[in-house]
Amino acid sequence: MKNLTHRDWSPDRLVLYASRYLSWKLQLHRRIRSLPRPVAAAAYLVTSTLVRMAISAFRTIYPEKYTDADPYKIIHVDPDAIAYTSGERSSKRRGWVVDGDWDLGGDPFMQRTRPRAIAQRVNEGMAWEVTALTDKYDPAEVAERGVKMEALYSRIRTEGYRSQRQLLETDPEAAWSGLNDTMHPLANEVAVDIGRHGELRWNMCGQHRLAFARVLDLDRIPVQVFRRHAEWQKIRDRVRRGEDIPEEFRAHPDLADLLGDG
- 32 pLDDT band, cuts 50/70/90, is confident
- 91 pLDDT band, cuts 50/70/90, is low
> pLDDT for 201-225, tens place per residue?
999 889 999 999 999 999 999 999 9
Q: Following DSSP, what letter does each residue of 106-160 receive, concatenated? A: --BGGGSHHHHHHHHHHHH---GGGSGGGGTS-HHHHHHHHHHHHHHHHHHHHH-
**pLDDT of 35 over the 90 cut:** no
Rounded to whole angstroms, how far apart are CA atoms 195 and 26? 32
- Report the relative pairing of strands 221-229 and 96-98 from DSSP bridges: parallel
- 178 pLDDT band, cuts 50/70/90, is confident
Handedness of CA 60, 64, 65, 69 (dihedral sign): positive
- 220, 72 contact by CB (below 8 A): no
What per-residue string of b and e applies to 127-142 under the rule 16 or more CB within 10 Å gives b?
ebeebbbeeebeeeeb
Q: Is the pTM of this model over 0.85?
A: yes
What 8-state DSSP symbol labels residue 95?
A: T
Handedness of CA 143, 186, 120, 201 (dihedral sign): negative
* Percentage of the chain modeled with pLDDT above 90: 75
